[in-house]
Amino acid sequence: MAKERILIVDDEPDIANLLRVYFKSRKYEVLVASRGSEALEICRRQMPQVIILDINLPQMDGFDVCRALRENLRTSHIPIIFLTQRDQRSDKIAGLELGADDYITKPFDIQELHLRVQNSLRRASYESLTHPVTGLPGSKLVEQQFRELLQQETWAVLYLGLENFFPFNETYGFIIGDDVLKFTALVLNNAVDELGNPRDFLGHTGGANFVVVTTPDRVMTLRDAIVARLERDLPTFYTYPDRERGYMEVRDTNGQVTRVPLLYPVVGILTRPPAQFTSVREISEAMAEARQRASQRPVRSRLPTPEIITPRG
């Protein structure tokens, strides 16, 4: 098993050496940098799992290092723990606002620091398995759940997608799009809390695609409650003119305007058939087919076909 890698960034040799020896004795791989620029270069070459970062560094201080790491997509996820002599409340707030995960002042208890490192690593490991917007279990955990279904006698999967989410996201922007995803996750959570089973599973497989693993006796009730709530409330994310029209008008690069229906939920339902599935792939394919069939049924909020409007003038 690969060792977890820690980067220590501190220009005080005694502190840096103490941390290096301690964490090596705890079976971590330890990298050390004494300057901010050196720390950024190490992150480019050897991605650490967590960074212990001093603020008082020469030339480039810890705040600037943290800012540079958070602005780079490749390093933005790395947990950062500030370890510093600067104990002013304003410094702590500034560090946390930059996206640091924790803030510890010197002198410090090295065992407490170790626990905080462990907590940061645990959170990072968990979050990598969850969707960054909704916080629901992501594809890896969904796949793991499907593997468990192969061993179970009875189950049902509700596979939900939001039709027209891509053009909505492009037109209204990613912030509003994320709000729609968060709202959908909330609707699913509330429905399962009120109408599902204690062991029901929720997952977000990406885009606007969600799964609920439940029991056959609850799946239709859950579907009806989820669809009713989404059909009622999804239009509130549109402007008043779009809500009144019942569609968006999206202009392409040639100036043509396409009428795109409002968001609406499409749900496929899959229950364990008499012939047992033998792989996760078979479950996934059957689930996708069930939702595809559902998307071909008439829906009140859907225009029969997209309409092209010739630009005026």
**133-167: b or e for each residue (b if 16 or more CB lie within 10 Å)?**
ebebbbeebbbebbeebeeeeebbbbbbbbbbbee
pLDDT digits (tens, 9 = 90+) for 203-227: 998 889 999 999 999 999 999 999 9
How high is the pLDDT of residue 274?
53
Q: Does residue 96 have a pLDDT over 80?
A: yes
Fold of the CATH domain 5-127: Rossmann fold (3.40.50)
How high is the pLDDT of residue 273?
67
Q: Does residue 309 have a pLDDT over 50?
A: no
pLDDT digits (tens, 9 = 90+) for 70-90: 887 578 778 999 999 998 888
Pairing, β 80-84 against β 50-53:
parallel
**What does the alpha-carbon distance between residue 83 and residue 62 come to, in Å, rounded to a whole number?**
10
- Tokens 């690969």: give the residue: 2
- Tokens 């092209």: give the residue: 308
Which range (56-70, 128-142, 148-162) has the least confidence? 128-142
How high is the pLDDT of residue 80?
95
Q: Does residue 307 have a pLDDT over 60?
A: no
How many Å is the maximal CA-CA distance in the chain? Answer: 75
Q: Does residue 50 have a pLDDT over 90?
A: yes
pTM over 0.75: no
User: How many residues does this entry show for the chain?
Assistant: 313
How high is the pLDDT of residue 246?
93
Q: Which two tokens stand for residue 304?
A: 């029969």
Continuous segment of H or E residues that includes residue 6: strand 5-9
C-alpha separations of 257 from 107, 116, 246 in Å: 64, 54, 15
Q: Report percent pLDDT > 90 for the chain.
A: 55
C-alpha separations of 101 from 9, 61, 132, 138 in Å: 15, 17, 16, 22
Parse the chain into domains and list their residue ranges.
5-127, 139-309
Torsion, CA 124, CA 129, CA 131, CA 134, rounded to 10: -80
Q: Which two tokens stand for residue 49?
A: 């799992």
How high is the pLDDT of residue 299?
46
Fold of the CATH domain 139-309: Alpha-Beta Plaits (3.30.70)
The β-bridge partners of 257 are 251, 309
